[in-house]
Structure 1
Amino acid sequence: MPENRILDDVDQQLVHALQIAPRASWTVLGRVLGIDAATVARRWQRLRDSGAAWITCYPGPVMAGAGGCLAFVEVDCASGHLLPVARAFTELPHVSTVEHVTGDRDLLLTVMTGDVGALSRWVVGSLDTMDGVRASRTHLAGSVFTEGSRWRLRALTPAQAERLSAEALPVEAAGLPDELDRRIMVELSMDGRMSYTTLAERCASSPDTVRRRVRHLFAARMVQARCEVARPLSDWPSVVLLWAGVPADAITEAAQRITAMREVRLCAGVTGRHNLLIAAWSRSVEDSQRFEAELMRVVPELVVGDRAIALWQAKLQGQRLDQRGYRTGGVPVDPWAVPDA
């Protein structure tokens, strides 16, 4: 049986539902899917326990306005050191994603820090002195036009998706996160559906306080929840990365067209020789070439300067993955955990 048949129709609908409303109650989800709440909970537990699907949380792009820093770091490894270096990066709470990629770099890291100074401190004092690292190049992210939490499996009917979208909270103004907010965000990064009672215990607060804080963090887009599925189960097993450039005055319009493409998981403005980084899922390596051709048709003014395929996502938004793409564990995402020295 092909591996992508492991998810039956109900599993796919459940994953899609949780991508839209990751913290909706089992009762609400069951009502939309047409099954009882206990069955929904049991199916999700099976998917999560097998590493086939999971929900994580991480600081949203709005946090950049609160002084936060998002960067993509290319790392070149010495011969024979790639695996131990990659494993060392997966243990760092501020390195949310670690990818072994093809092309002119060995690893691509997604790094979140509290501010630019913390990023510089880590690059100079730790990354560049790490055993097995030959060189690194850091690209700061500016605008994040889309990211993985907005990607959908598309297994629900439009009517079902609309019913779940109604669960979304009204947008609230973002502020500076305090210590409790940060603790909540770190705990949710390991389980985006963690109960308010468990969160309260781990954050030394009350369930009512934690409930209010969680609702505000989501409503203010200070935190993003993301329901992921192991790539072999999604019919989109390959990850293609493109570094591209468009005229500076056309970047927003170009990004809007790019993010409308179903395959696109990330489109971010970055510093460096190229001003856009695009990550997309494709059906195969060959299909990634079709995607690039379609991208050029959608945005004729775009110039692709470099491209890569992710051979192994060793870590994805805090979750460790095996070489098939299944979750094996995790490290809490904590942008504020960079040492002072």
Structure 2
Amino acid sequence: MTQHSGHGPVRNSAHGAVRALDDVDQALVHALQIAPRAGWNEIGAVLGLDAVTVARRWHRLTEAGAAWISCSPSPALAANGQGLLAVVEVDCASGSLLTVARALAELPHVTAVEHVSGDRDLLLTVMATDLAALTHWVTRGIGTMQGIVATRTHLASTVYTEGSRWRLRALDRTQITRLADTGTPRTDTPVFPLTDLDHALVGALSMNGRATYRALADACGTSPDTVRRRLGRLFAAGMLQPRCEVARPLSEWPVTVILWGRAAAAELESVSRAVTGAREVRLCAGLTGRNNVLVVAWVKSLADAQRFEVRLAQRAPGLDITDRAVALWPLKLSGHLLDERGYRIGGVPLDARTADATRRDPEES
């Protein structure tokens, strides 16, 4: 996986295609979804393979853009007052959609960019350090970009589940338990203020969640021991979320559906918890605004999208679905750039602080 310490994009060179995941590949991806930073010896022992074999398999998948491991700040940071997450709808002028989408995908604080069906052209997921930074970027940054006609911003009040918890189902319960025991345990360590080094580590890990302490130290200009201590503390406090992703065509759920809905304020948490129990759901978040629930799910087909909505209504009858869309092309996911098929072709290291950049414009000082 490419290493990168700056804010610019990293792009893969040409690579061989992976058209399907065999049983071993599926087991490997499932294992890394549970324990993204576990050693190859540990992974191999659980899968009944040697470390060299699993490492070679993983290298093949990453080189093909078929699977990758990223890392992002957890919702615990926002809950602690360190940053926020927003969903921004973007309407583009005729003929400008692709240009606008690619420009937005290059921004480190825009974690996801999706071209979607329905009443908006693009759907963005955006990190910012605070409301002032987000407002300034929406008005002075994206608000002045050529080709954008209108934007609508919704704040995520609570994230009930997100992509790091989504799983393939290739392993048995015993294997899952063994892998879960290899991860960094969450402790009572309180959330603490991020330092510049922590932000640099987030950026580097967002491009390669399995990067070694030595590689991270080289990228961030510090020592491996310092990296080990900082990451140990960050993971123990639940401030980082590594996640293993797979190209959508290689999963059983190649279609991404996005649902907006409403629930009574008193029922919002119970409804959202019910929604998160659905296997297909990758994201469920509470939003500010007329629609106060956002659901993102992977389903098997367009026809299955309708069946999923029926199943969701049965699971969470207190949720009234008011709008729906299908992701036509997710150009960016958790910092990683994807082609039209959903394979990784590069990435932009995550950094919520870049939303603040327009406030430091020398012409305004």
Indicate whether 1:142 and 2:160 are aligned. Answer: no
Alignment match, 1:92: 107
Contact map agreement 1:97 1:109 (CA 8 A) in 2: yes
SS of 1:126's equivalent in the other structure is helix
Contact map agreement 2:18 2:64 (CA 8 A) in 1: no
Aligned partner of 1:32 among 46, 50, 54: 46
Alignment match, 1:242: 259
The whole-number CA distance in structure 1 between the counterparts of 2:319 and 2:299 is 20
Indicate whether 1:259 and 2:287 are aligned. Answer: no
Give the residue type in structure 2 aligned to 1:141.
A
Contact map agreement 2:115 2:329 (CA 8 A) in 1: yes
The whole-number CA distance in structure 1 between the counterparts of 2:233 and 2:306 is 42
More off after superposition, 173-182 vs 36-45? 173-182
The whole-number CA distance in structure 2 between the counterparts of 1:222 and 1:49 is 28
Q: For 1:184-225, what per-residue CA distance to the aligned partner results, in whole angstroms no more than 9, with x for missing partners?
A: 111101000011001011111110110111122122111111
Aligned partner of 1:310 among 313, 327, 342: 327
* Cα deviation, residue 304, structure 1: 0.6
Q: For 1:246-300, what per-residue CA distance to the aligned partner results, in whole angstroms no more than 9, with x for missing partners?
A: 1101111111111010000000000111110000000011100000011111111
Unaligned runs of 5+ in 2: 1-16
Contact map agreement 1:236 1:283 (CA 8 A) in 2: yes
Alignment match, 1:157: 172
The whole-number CA distance in structure 2 between the counterparts of 1:147 and 1:283 is 19
Contact map agreement 2:186 2:238 (CA 8 A) in 1: no
* Cα deviation, residue 67, structure 1: 2.4
Give the residue type in structure 2 aligned to 1:315.
K
Aligned partner of 2:297 among 265, 280, 303: 280
Alignment match, 2:206: 189
Contact map agreement 1:240 1:282 (CA 8 A) in 2: yes
SS of 1:194's equivalent in the other structure is coil
Give the residue type in structure 2 aligned to 1:51.
G
- How big is the alpha-carbon RMSD for the aligned residues of Structure 1 and Structure 2? 1.1
Unaligned runs of 5+ in 1: none
Alignment match, 2:349: 332
* Cα deviation, residue 5, structure 1: 6.2
Aligned partner of 1:107 among 110, 122, 143: 122
The whole-number CA distance in structure 2 between the counterparts of 1:25 and 1:301 is 43
**Which aligned pairs between 1:67-86 and structure 2 lie closer than 5 A?**
67-86=82-101
Aligned length: 339
Aligned partner of 1:116 among 131, 134, 154: 131
Alignment match, 2:31: 17
Give the residue type in structure 2 aligned to 1:35.
L
The whole-number CA distance in structure 2 between the counterparts of 1:305 and 1:170 is 37
* Structure 1 pair 157–13 and aligned structure 2 pair: CA distance change class (3 A): same
SS of 1:215's equivalent in the other structure is helix
The whole-number CA distance in structure 2 between the counterparts of 1:133 and 1:36 is 52
Q: For 1:293-315, what per-residue CA distance to the aligned partner results, in whole angstroms no more than 9, with x for missing partners?
A: 11111111211110000000000
The whole-number CA distance in structure 1 between the counterparts of 2:148 and 2:307 is 34
Alignment match, 2:186: 170
Alignment match, 2:242: 225
SS of 1:328's equivalent in the other structure is strand
Contact map agreement 1:4 1:235 (CA 8 A) in 2: no
Give the residue type in structure 2 aligned to 1:85.
V
Give the residue type in structure 2 aligned to 1:20.
I
Per the normalisation by structure 1, the TM-score is 0.98
The whole-number CA distance in structure 2 between the counterparts of 1:210 and 1:327 is 27
- Identity among equivalent pairs (%): 57
The whole-number CA distance in structure 2 between the counterparts of 1:47 and 1:273 is 42
Q: For 1:121-177, what per-residue CA distance to the aligned partner results, in whole angstroms no more than 9, with x for missing partners?
A: 100001111100000000000110000000000111110000001123132321111
* Cα deviation, residue 4, structure 1: 8.8
The whole-number CA distance in structure 1 between the counterparts of 2:29 and 2:232 is 22
SS of 1:315's equivalent in the other structure is strand
Contact map agreement 2:66 2:344 (CA 8 A) in 1: yes
Per the normalisation by structure 2, the TM-score is 0.91
Alignment match, 1:291: 308
Aligned partner of 2:197 among 174, 177, 180: 180
The whole-number CA distance in structure 1 between the counterparts of 2:206 and 2:81 is 19
Indicate whether 1:46 and 2:60 are aligned. Answer: yes
Contact map agreement 2:105 2:112 (CA 8 A) in 1: yes
More off after superposition, 247-256 vs 43-52? 247-256
